[in-house]
Structure formats: structure tokens, C-alpha cells
Amino acid sequence: GTTLGASAAESGRYFGAAVSTQYLSESAYANTLGAEFNSVVAENAMKWDATEPNPGQFNFSGGDQLVNWAQARGMKVRGHTLVWHAQQPGWAQNLTGQNLRNAMLNHIAGVANHYEGDVFAWDVVNEAFEWDGSRRQSNLQRQLGNGWIEEAFRAADAADPTATLCYNDYGTDSINAKSTAIYNMVRDFKSRGVPIDCVGFQTHIAHNENLSSYQANLQRFADLGVDVEITELDVGQGSGQAATYGTVTNACMAVARCKGITVWGITDKYSWRDDNPLLFDGNYQKKQAYHTVLAAL
């Protein structure tokens, strides 16, 4: 294929980008997205603060805009994210006990029901572990205890039984304490029938990241019986940027259950990072990293 999306599709995979809906009116942004990618995810528009600004009052305007844009072009949509300690609305941040549980479950039901049939996968829970493999001591964790992740997945499954339900995190780019703790959680979930279908590897990395166990790590999760997805890929600028993009792409291509890759933005002009980590430069020109990825797909 001659585009990222078309090349990924040749092996049944997708190649997506995180999208800020505010830039869809910029023609170079929209044209690059539409030409090169076959999947999108909302960079912010489907997060808790955006979708439920007041308790029980949902606002799907940004997410719906992206879904409509993508569907009009035959593109897939990933859902990001139902439950995360960050970007929560103010009203949810200091809830306690059963009030917090009800708010979390109601949020999952409201959002996942709304987008049922529109998103092929959900990041049900985002970033719940620390580097050392312990649970992040978020308000969710302190108030609800270890069971909250399982509760979230069961609620997502009830709301949207067909979406691929993912646990998503960063710092899981090798076989390390954090990825092993997540691995153990997934193994436990699979053994007890907790509905988890996928693990997302954000892959926000440096140009000289050590990726010597990246593929083996993806494979050990796949061997548990879940899909794996590269969900937020970006690689800092530097001499190894293109090669590192290539290593990640090759790893996904080598793991049968690696269903696709999403880069966390289109152009360096609008990256959340300040180190030009994307495939298109600030003028929407293809970088070396783009050519390396395309060749690896």
C-alpha cells in the first residue's frame, strides 16, 4: 500500500491517529488524516471531563463529531477512555465510597452505551499501575480497593458486549515490574472470566528507548488470550527516531494478535509533547519515521 492505513489493512490491521476535533477544520490536518489513516481515537473528547461535565449529564458533542467524521470516510474509531485518574470532572474527583462507585459505573454505562456499535475498542481503564508494579494510589484505588478495575470491565461489558475491552498503560514497553503486574492481572481476569479482551501499550517513548523485549512482551500478553494494540505511539526526536518507530511497527507485525497501531497525533505542530515525536512534521511533510513505518507495515 501507499498509505499507512492501506498498508496496515493488507495484514488485517489498522493504523490510526489521535485526533483533536478542533483541528478538523484545518484542511492540511483533515486531508492528512483522511488520506493516511484508517482509524481514529479522540485525543480528549471522549474522556470523563468532556463527556460528563455534570453528574449524569452527558455531552457527546466532540466525540460524536469525530465519529461522524470517521464514519463518513469508512474509518474505524477507538474509544479512549472510560476510567482514568486524570481528566476527571471536578465533581467526581473527591467522591468517596459508594458515591464514587456509582459515579464510575454510571459513567461507563452512559458513555459505552452511547458509542455502542461506533467504537470497536474501549480503553476501559487507563494508567492504574505504578512503575514498581503496585497499584496507583488514585482516589479510585483508595476508595474502592483492588476490585475497581474488575468492576469497571464488567460494567463496560454490560454496556457494550461486542467492543474489544482494553486495559491501557504506559511504561510497559519491556518485560518489567509494571508490565508484569499488568500481565498477572490479565491472567487472573482470564482465569476468572472477567471480561477483558485486550491490552493497550501506549508506547510514549524516547528515540533511544531500549526495546529489546518489546516484541516478547507483546507476545506474552497475546499468549494469555488477549489482543494487543499499540495505542498512543510517539517517539521523541533524535537520531534513533525512525529506527525506533520501525522496531515498534515490526514487533506489532510479528505478533498475530497485535491488531493495530495508533500514533498520538498527526503532525508535530499539535503534539502534546514538545520533542517533535510524530510521523509528519509541522508542515505536514512526511518524516523519515513515516517512510520507515510504511516500509515495515
Residue number with CB closer to ligand XIL (66 or 297) = 66
Instruction: Establish if 241 lies at the interface with ligand XIL (CB under 6 A).
Output: no
Q: Of residues 34, 36, 38, 43, which one binds ligand XIL by CB under 6 A?
A: 43
Instruction: Establish if 276 lies at the interface with ligand XIL (CB under 6 A).
Output: no
Residue number with CB closer to ligand XIL (261 or 294) = 261
C-alpha cell at 114: 452511547
Residue number with CB closer to ligand XIL (44 or 106) = 44
Q: Name the closest residue to ligand XIL (Cβ).
A: 272
Instruction: Establish if 21 lies at the interface with ligand XIL (CB under 6 A).
Output: no
Q: Of residues 60, 120, 272, 284, which one binds ligand XIL by CB under 6 A?
A: 272
**Which residue in 43, 127, 209, 232 is the catalytic one?**
232
Residue 126 Cβ vs ligand XIL, minimum distance, rounded to whole Å: 5
Instruction: Establish if 232 lies at the interface with ligand XIL (CB under 6 A).
Output: yes
Q: Of residues 32, 39, 88, 126, which one binds ligand XIL by CB under 6 A?
A: 126
Residue number with CB closer to ligand XIL (163 or 294) = 163
- The yes-or-no answer on residue 127 being catalytic is no
Q: Which long-range contacts (CB under 8 A, 24 or more apart) does 89-96 make?
A: 89/48, 89/49, 89/52, 89/53, 89/54, 91/54, 91/55, 92/48, 92/52, 92/55, 93/139, 94/139, 95/139, 95/143, 96/143
Tell me how far apart the alpha carbons of residues 142 and 84 are, in angstroms, rounded to a whole number.
14
Q: Of residues 88, 202, 203, 247, which one binds ligand XIL by CB under 6 A?
A: 202
* CA atoms in the 13 A half-sphere facing the CB of 64: 7
- Residue 123, SS3 per DSSP: strand
177-192 helix and 214-222 helix, angle to the nearest 10 degrees: 10
Q: Which long-range contacts (CB under 8 A, 24 or more apart) does 182-188 make?
A: 182/129, 183/220, 183/221, 183/224, 185/149, 186/221, 186/224, 186/226, 187/224
Instruction: Establish if 60 lies at the interface with ligand XIL (CB under 6 A).
Output: no
- Residue 199, SS3 per DSSP: strand
| Interface residues toward ligand XIL, by CB under 6 A | 43-44, 126, 202, 232, 272
The set of catalytic residues is 232
